[in-house]
Structure 1
């Protein structure tokens, strides 16, 4: 924006991670108004419009690096607020479909904390940017404009119904419940196709008090994954150490094997997995919250980029695609996509007549990669519904399975596995000659037979003290 050009104004619908990052990117070129139906907290706190925040959220290194590019210094701000930077696989005890991943020197990293903390730090940075304002407790009811051009939104605010907020650009970041397709259809924009793959996944989370000394020693993330190659419901359990000396434990199960909100069944579910380690670690831990249960976790993708979108509009984040939350892709996909949008803005500017459509297309590579990774696995579970794998997927899955087997014994393949899982590279990385060479020689000879916890970690967790205390199944904050 030059001194001679008229001031530009952008509206971002939704103040979650994708919306905040979109606002940060747009703030270089326009004033920005973030519109959200909630009151946005000034500190880490839950909000009604983000119920999934109660569950484990891991910021992979691919996402953390992208957000760091958009908001320099944010990683240090997260850790200063209590988040934990975890080296991978050094600080990770994980059982994949093929077996236990050995712990070795850092290949990638993640940021471990509650979703509320992640959002709060980013929100403080973005809302503090010059030209960024918020319109809270306000709900967008419609897009303003025509099928050719969006010129703003109609909003119900606490002070005024059907208020017109004009804009040169409207970005829909309102999430899984987005009404953008309906709004566009009301303006005569049709043909917006949607796809879905639903494994019937349900996940349940409870926060526990970590054992004394666990936080200080840097107790690892512990995770037991399912094996989609076996035709049974996929069940997983994860413990992520988060801020304030707490353990956030999330269980999940696909159709026919879902967890419930019954506290009597939480730990037994975790003990009944392919390895009981997560359940064993939770025995005797003091629960600090009720069990939060979430359903409706289908992978869903809206192909906005294939429609004849009006100028002045694009969608981002969960409004475009939602993924099985177990893969931890959502925030990273949004951040990396918005980096591509930022590059587009810097070359052609907000005033370019087709900017919205080009921005929508710029998001496609990140969305498409995550979609293929998530749906190719989820469709394998019993009772899964949706689009079937493309021809050739079986051969690719066999190759990836062999790579994953090698990741349990070969450090080079452990690194390659993490390179893609953390979304630091696309799956094409797995087809590099150096990786293929190791895959061809992969085997499970010498693979770990038990969770690679150290003796000190086992002592802190109470695993070497006989049968251990009784499972805590009483009311919140109590142990029976």
Structure 2
């Protein structure tokens, strides 16, 4: 157990920052604040595990999580050395596009011969535990676990702490000089702010009815360095969105995740799990799975609504309070952007408090506005696809959505046959560059020219990879 206690740390009065939520976003926020105050208190409803183990409040952790290089770089800025710690713990550094076999809505991506970006491949349990250990080991951060935040204290002009309820059922106030909400999708910040008299923020939500089904398999012999394999759906086909992916993770395991929108959902049945990927736009994932040994049952998750809260638009935003991570914007996990955005928003917080301190007037509002930039990039990418799925609830595509979608389709089709477009498009999808990158002259010219090479007619697996899949080990 980590820092399990029923009371806040005692001692002389000193500056304290408080973080609501002890997940990845919360721990990165704690790390961002650690040098700016004498004490950081993380309030968490769960009992945080020792080591890379599941926790009750994060059921979606069982599914494949891709941590894009844009997010990894941001996490490194907040926690120097964290990338090496992940790799030492068993995470895979998977080069993109060389380490990815993916069927996009516009065709198969080529693997080319040169890395432009990368993905960190590991279980969410391992990723979180390494960050937790790194943040808590040096001291200065304390976890108040199995404790629920019931509300904020202060006024509409300034937040001064939180009200918490522990296992004893009693409610009490915990004061803080700065408060961050990193409590995730279940955040109650809109309600808490309303009670303080803060005007509500605009909000947009889109629900695809998306269901995730995941099973972990033992990787075949000789599979070290095997690529990510992904068959994506086509949002504009008029059919439910169905996809499947294989993510190589630590300890010689592969996480296989399948997704489906309304009327196309996967089930928790083992036989259905084997059959589902064979019915996709290409059966490659199902074919690869046919000879693998399952290590777990099928896990299902349904909490995948896209939600964006525009706190940066609240004119009289209270001092000393910031919202980040999924509490600010929760994305369809299919795109792998949630963790990267959490890291990038934590990096924004780190830069601001390092430069100005937590007590600077107007800091919270400036930080909230700055966080909108990485959030908007991921949001536009997700909504530009998801709004087209049939039976999506939350409004149909706007004219802007349609124009952007047609343009992105053109870029993706071009990137399947032109390397320069791969670089530019991956800069954006990996969240290493803003969405405006896609309208630079070089990108516009590439889109006009179109693909340099004809489309591939099948998955670009190497002879060695095919031998591994078909039981030939590393031969081939």
The bucket for the TM-score relative to the shorter chain is over 0.9
Matched with 2:190 is: 181
CA contact (8 A) 2:231 2:245 kept: yes
- Structure 1 408/340 Cα, relative in aligned 2: closer, same or farther at 3 Å? same
Matched with 1:251 is: 258
After the TM superposition, which of the residue ranges 280-289 and 383-392 deviates more from structure 2? Answer: 383-392
Q: What CA distance in whole angstroms lies between the structure 2 residues aligned with 1:98 and 1:463?
A: 31
- Residues 143-162 of structure 1: pairs in structure 2 closer than 5 A: 143-158=152-167, 161-162=170-171
Q: 1:139 aligns with which of 116, 131, 148?
A: 148
Matched with 2:274 is: 267
Shift, 1:131, TM fit:
1.5
CA contact (8 A) 1:195 1:387 kept: no
1:100 and 2:120 are equivalent in the alignment: no
Q: 1:128 aligns with which of 120, 134, 137?
A: 137
Deviation digits for residues 253-299 of structure 1 (CA, Å, limit 9, x no counterpart): 11111111111101211110000000111102111111111113110
1:82 and 2:98 are equivalent in the alignment: no
Shift, 1:445, TM fit:
4.9
Q: 1:71 aligns with which of 79, 82, 103?
A: 79
TM-score, structure 2 normalization: 0.93
Q: What CA distance in whole angstroms lies between the structure 1 residues aligned with 2:92 and 2:421?
A: 25
Shift, 1:62, TM fit:
0.3
1:358 and 2:366 are equivalent in the alignment: yes
Q: What CA distance in whole angstroms lies between the structure 2 residues aligned with 1:17 and 1:68?
A: 13
Matched with 1:475 is: none
Q: Count matched residues.
A: 458
Determine helix, strand or coil for the equivalent of 1:195.
strand
Q: 1:349 aligns with which of 334, 339, 357?
A: 357
CA contact (8 A) 2:190 2:200 kept: no
CA contact (8 A) 2:320 2:359 kept: no
Shift, 1:352, TM fit:
1.4
After the TM superposition, which of the residue ranges 310-319 and 267-276 deviates more from structure 2? Answer: 310-319
Deviation digits for residues 78-137 of structure 1 (CA, Å, limit 9, x no counterpart): 010000001111111001011111112101001000001111111111112441111111
Q: What CA distance in whole angstroms lies between the structure 1 residues aligned with 2:260 and 2:117?
A: 27
Q: What CA distance in whole angstroms lies between the structure 2 residues aligned with 1:342 and 1:82?
A: 27
Shift, 1:390, TM fit:
4.0
- Residues 178-327 of structure 1: pairs in structure 2 closer than 5 A: 178-215=187-224, 218-307=225-314, 308-327=316-335
1:457 and 2:465 are equivalent in the alignment: yes
Q: What CA distance in whole angstroms lies between the structure 2 residues aligned with 1:349 and 1:336?
A: 19
CA contact (8 A) 2:19 2:43 kept: yes
Q: What CA distance in whole angstroms lies between the structure 1 residues aligned with 2:222 and 2:76?
A: 31
CA contact (8 A) 1:24 1:129 kept: no
CA contact (8 A) 1:340 1:362 kept: yes
Shift, 1:51, TM fit:
0.9
CA contact (8 A) 1:280 1:463 kept: no
Determine helix, strand or coil for the equivalent of 1:109.
strand
Matched with 1:60 is: 68
Q: 1:11 aligns with which of 11, 18, 38?
A: 18
1:23 and 2:30 are equivalent in the alignment: yes
CA contact (8 A) 1:27 1:129 kept: no
Deviation digits for residues 338-362 of structure 1 (CA, Å, limit 9, x no counterpart): 2222222233211113222222112
Q: What CA distance in whole angstroms lies between the structure 1 residues aligned with 2:258 and 2:299?
A: 10
1:385 and 2:385 are equivalent in the alignment: no
Matched with 1:470 is: none
Q: What CA distance in whole angstroms lies between the structure 2 residues aligned with 1:438 and 1:252?
A: 32
1:35 and 2:43 are equivalent in the alignment: yes
What do you get for the CA RMSD once the two structures are aligned? 1.6
**Which stretches in structure 1 are left out of the alignment for 5+ residues?**
1-5, 466-480
Matched with 1:394 is: 402
Determine helix, strand or coil for the equivalent of 1:184.
helix
Q: What CA distance in whole angstroms lies between the structure 1 residues aligned with 2:101 and 2:471?
A: 15
After the TM superposition, which of the residue ranges 142-151 and 168-177 deviates more from structure 2? Answer: 142-151
Determine helix, strand or coil for the equivalent of 1:392.
helix
After the TM superposition, which of the residue ranges 439-448 and 178-187 deviates more from structure 2? Answer: 439-448
Shift, 1:60, TM fit:
0.2
